[in-house]
Amino acid sequence: MIRAIFIAAVLLFALDGASARADPLAHVEPLARVGPPPSAAPKSDDGVVNLNDASEDELTRLPGIGPGKARAIAEHRHAHPFRRIDELTKVKGIGRKTFGRLRPYITTVGPTTLAQKAAVRR
């Protein structure tokens, strides 16, 4: 008798466990898909400047970048091509604040599409 109760309990437990294993995440809602990594795709509706391919003239279209900083960016990338956009802060004269203004307009992949000087957004 005890053996029959034990077998019944084991079967009941096994059946209950099997239904739980069938879809253990059935009650979990899927997360929203996030966009591409920051440096992978252009972010600005006005266009972007590719830090690795842009000419000095194209770099001056970025807000707050004049001929001097454009030259510094070009010289830096000649020795150290940019793999990520945040590496721009390694260029002398470009800190976190400047990088924050430039972020919507820069990329390391794809063509340069910024046609005119970008207005500073605050």
Full-model pTM:
0.61
pLDDT given at position 70: 96
Least confident of 21-25, 73-77, 82-86, 104-108: 21-25
Least confident of 8-12, 27-31, 67-71: 27-31
Distance from C-alpha of 113 to C-alpha of 70, rounded to nearest angstrom: 17
Reported as type and span, the H/E element at residue 6 is helix 2-22
Q: Which residues contact 111 (CB under 8 A, 6 or more apart)?
A: 50, 53
Q: How confident is the model at residue 96 (pLDDT cuts 50, 70, 90)?
A: very high
Residue spans of the domains in the chain: they are 37-122
Task: Look at 112 and 46; give whichever has higher pLDDT.
Answer: 112
Span of 32-36, 107-111, 113-117 with lowest mean pLDDT: 32-36
* 37-122: CATH topology: DNA polymerase; domain 1 (1.10.150)
Other Cβ atoms less than 10 A from the Cβ of 55: the count is: 11
Average pLDDT, the chain: 80
Determine how many CB atoms are found less than 10 A away from the CB of residue 72: 17
